[in-house]
Structure 1
Amino acid sequence: MKKLVMLIPDILNSKGNVRIWSAGCSNGAEPFTLAILISELFGDNYPDSVDILATDIDPDNNFEDFFRYGIYDKDRLNRIPEDVCRKYFHGNEDNSGNVVLNDSIIERVEFMRHDLLSGNLPGGFFDIIICKNVLLHFNESEQSEIVSLIYNSMNDNGLFVTEQTHRLPDEWDDHFVRIFPDARIYRKFSEI
């Protein structure tokens, strides 16, 4: 994710804004981590021109409260450096052992219910689309449908990020180029 964040200043310099979609975001850990990394990169100058949309189908209404209140089990943060935890999280008032994400990060991420198999774009076009630990839950045909939706939701030269262990469906190999040998970050080919 750090490699991806390091590309954001270049996109800002060339376009003036960055639209990011975290597709299949579950409880928001990924888009909130992204917002924290962007905050770390820019410090007090977090650009207002970076928009993060987080979507999930959320059929049981499990995730919306994470985006509204940012309450997480403290044990889930064990991979985050202690100084980063102190900077972006604080204790929950109910003394439950949970931690609460700072409003400054919660406000950076918009949550919306969206079904990746609906064929509907979630609104506008994106410069970066993250779809990690999602495609492996679908069969090959559904994966291809989702990658098609993602491709059609991307701006020219947009970036697509998948989990490290997942390959793109074969029919999509010539639509993207992998830009790092050690990360599944792909750039969209604008002309096929």
Structure 2
Amino acid sequence: MLTQFKQLLTHYTGLALSETDHDKAYKFLQSRLAELKTPDLAGYVQQLTANSLRADQEWQLVVQALTVPESFFLRDKGQMHILQQHILPELIQRNRHQRQLRIWSAGCSTGEEPYSLAMLVQKLLPDAHEWDVLILGSDINDKVLAKARAGLYSRWSLRDVGPEVLAYFQPAQQGLLALDPDLREKVTFRRVNLLQTPFPDLEINKIDLILCRNVFIYFDQAAIAAVVEKFVQTLNPEGFLLTGHGELYQQPLYGLQTRLYLESVVYQRSAQSSSRSPAVLPDLPRPAAVPTLTAPDIAKARIAALDQAYQAGDYAQVLAIAQTLLSQQNDFDAHYWSAKAFASLGQYPAAEARLHAALALNKRSAACYYLLAHIREAQGDSQQATELLNKAIIADEQFIPAYLELAALYEYDEPLKCQQMRGQALNLLQKLPPKQYLEEFAAHAQDLILHLQ
């Protein structure tokens, strides 16, 4: 009977339930059957297929149980660079006469992506108040949309951002950060089932830019094709579609052409109304012979490959590289980067297991304690997050991110401790070269000093 449920799930949502999610699905179904006092799965499937408000509410429970609402601000720096330097400036210039800009974040989860887009638009379009600007965030999950509208985020959602982004936030209760109300008003949220909701419609039409990233990795191939066809009809001629890396591989993208940037591929609707296949990318030249590398060179190349895949949001590639390394030896870097990938996917138990394996190899890794603290914070356990951040400082007294994270946790309830942590972080930053780049904050030391002062 699980097969029938999987087929229904794919038909209604596009989601293809993987084998690794079977246990989660079984537990959810057992819980619902017991609560509804339904004797078997056939009866539950019948409830889901009914044309009723109750069926809609039940579907919400299904998607909330079986989807992973994981996102963060300015996710995938490479793609954000393309948007800021190429796509958005081109759209602004193209639309300057009619002063209209329409952007859709499809599958927006808890809202970090559409709010990130709002920040970019505000930066690139100072006279946005004189334009008709739509920034729409949609998701199938009502629960994540409610969180998006609230605009309250943990520091985990703000990892890898600099002072320019942090300036949009103020401390709120329970260690959370509240997004600037003016920016919140620039984004509209709406429930959309990409497969079942009819669009284009009165609101979702003539879109200049659609982002649908890290959504299709969970979709059935036929569902991807159906949604992409709807996207093409919804885009303006020469409008853009940006997906996660490799998500449209081997898909028949009729009506779309490709633009190839160093950081990513971007799809663009043809100027003509007639459908056409995407342009074929040229063959890349064969690489030159690779010189013999020393052990330190190999280690650097390995970390660079893991970091590049992680920054691109290609978590499957991170896990693949790490697994290859672990098949050869019990490797700290492989465990640590696997943990980062699992955490970004919202698979916190797997992330914790990898972090504990990494700590078994290096008990003084402040970065591992720091990531564990973020996971606890994302799960709402501020007390244990605080304990883990203190462990990070014990492991490395010069680990600046832990001081700043503790300051953020203390800011609302314990302002004196907050000041102490910020002061210690400032002292450490002032000892660094001004131009030293800190990956954790995507900023130079001098910029962080200005922010703290």
Give the TM-score normalised by structure 1: 0.87
Task: Please state how far the C-alpha of 1:74 moved relative to its aligned partner.
Answer: 1.7
Where do 1:177-188 residues align within 5 Å?
177-182=257-262, 183-188=264-269
- Residue 128 of structure 2 aligns with an amino acid whose one-letter code is Y
Structure 2: gaps (5+ residues): 1-79, 276-453
Q: Residue 110 in 1 paired to residue 188 in 2?
A: yes
Q: Residue 89 in 1 paired to residue 169 in 2?
A: yes
2:252 match: secondary structure: helix
- Does the aligned pair in 1 maintain the 2:104–2:211 contact within 8 Å? yes
Report the Cα distance in structure 2 between the residues aligned to 1:90 and 1:114, rounded to whole angstroms. Answer: 30
Task: Please state how far the C-alpha of 1:15 moved relative to its aligned partner.
Answer: 4.1
Q: Show CA shifts across 1:68-102 (max 9, x none).
A: 2200012220211123212x11111x2x1110110
Report the Cα distance in structure 1 between the residues aligned to 2:112 and 2:265, rounded to whole angstroms. Answer: 19
Aligned to 2:152: 71
- Does the aligned pair in 1 maintain the 2:91–2:208 contact within 8 Å? no
Report the Cα distance in structure 2 between the residues aligned to 1:83 and 1:34, rounded to whole angstroms. Answer: 14
Where do 1:43-82 residues align within 5 Å?
43=126, 45-47=127-129, 48-58=131-141, 61-82=142-163
* Change in 2 beyond 3 A, CA 1:2/1:49: farther
Give the structure with the higher percent strand: 1
Aligned to 1:20: 103
13-22 vs 131-140, which moves further: 13-22
Task: Please state how far the C-alpha of 1:168 moved relative to its aligned partner.
Answer: 4.8
Residues paired across the two proteins, number: 185
Report the Cα distance in structure 1 between the residues aligned to 2:151 and 2:185, rounded to whole angstroms. Answer: 10
Higher RCO structure, 1 or 2 (CA under 8 Å, sep 6+): 1
151-160 vs 176-185, which moves further: 176-185
Report the Cα distance in structure 1 between the residues aligned to 2:91 and 2:171, rounded to whole angstroms. Answer: 31
- Does the aligned pair in 2 maintain the 1:27–1:63 contact within 8 Å? yes
- Does the aligned pair in 2 maintain the 1:119–1:149 contact within 8 Å? no
1:25 match: secondary structure: coil
2:245 match: secondary structure: coil
Q: Pairwise CA RMSD of aligned residues?
A: 1.9
Report the Cα distance in structure 2 between the residues aligned to 1:11 and 1:132, rounded to whole angstroms. Answer: 24
Report the Cα distance in structure 2 between the residues aligned to 1:119 and 1:66, rounded to whole angstroms. Answer: 22
Task: Please state how far the C-alpha of 1:66 moved relative to its aligned partner.
Answer: 2.5
Task: Please state how far the C-alpha of 1:177 moved relative to its aligned partner.
Answer: 1.4
Report the Cα distance in structure 2 between the residues aligned to 1:154 and 1:83, rounded to whole angstroms. Answer: 31
- Residue 46 of structure 1 aligns with an amino acid whose one-letter code is A
Report the Cα distance in structure 2 between the residues aligned to 1:75 and 1:102, rounded to whole angstroms. Answer: 18
Aligned to 1:137: 218
1:117 match: secondary structure: coil
Task: Please state how far the C-alpha of 1:151 moved relative to its aligned partner.
Answer: 0.8
Identity %: 26
Aligned to 2:120: 37
- Does the aligned pair in 2 maintain the 1:136–1:166 contact within 8 Å? yes
- Residue 21 of structure 1 aligns with an amino acid whose one-letter code is W
Give the structure with the higher percent helix: 2
Report the Cα distance in structure 1 between the residues aligned to 2:98 and 2:241, rounded to whole angstroms. Answer: 17
Structure 1: gaps (5+ residues): none
* Change in 2 beyond 3 A, CA 1:28/1:161: same
Task: Please state how far the C-alpha of 1:9 moved relative to its aligned partner.
Answer: 1.8
- Does the aligned pair in 1 maintain the 2:155–2:177 contact within 8 Å? yes
Task: Please state how far the C-alpha of 1:64 moved relative to its aligned partner.
Answer: 2.5
Aligned to 1:8: 91
2:94 match: secondary structure: helix
- Does the aligned pair in 2 maintain the 1:24–1:131 contact within 8 Å? yes
2:195 match: secondary structure: helix
Q: Residue 146 in 1 paired to residue 227 in 2?
A: yes
* Change in 2 beyond 3 A, CA 1:169/1:126: farther
- Does the aligned pair in 1 maintain the 2:112–2:157 contact within 8 Å? no
- Residue 185 of structure 2 aligns with an amino acid whose one-letter code is E
- Residue 136 of structure 2 aligns with an amino acid whose one-letter code is L
* Change in 2 beyond 3 A, CA 1:135/1:14: farther
Larger radius of gyration: 2
Report the Cα distance in structure 2 between the residues aligned to 1:109 and 1:125, rounded to whole angstroms. Answer: 17
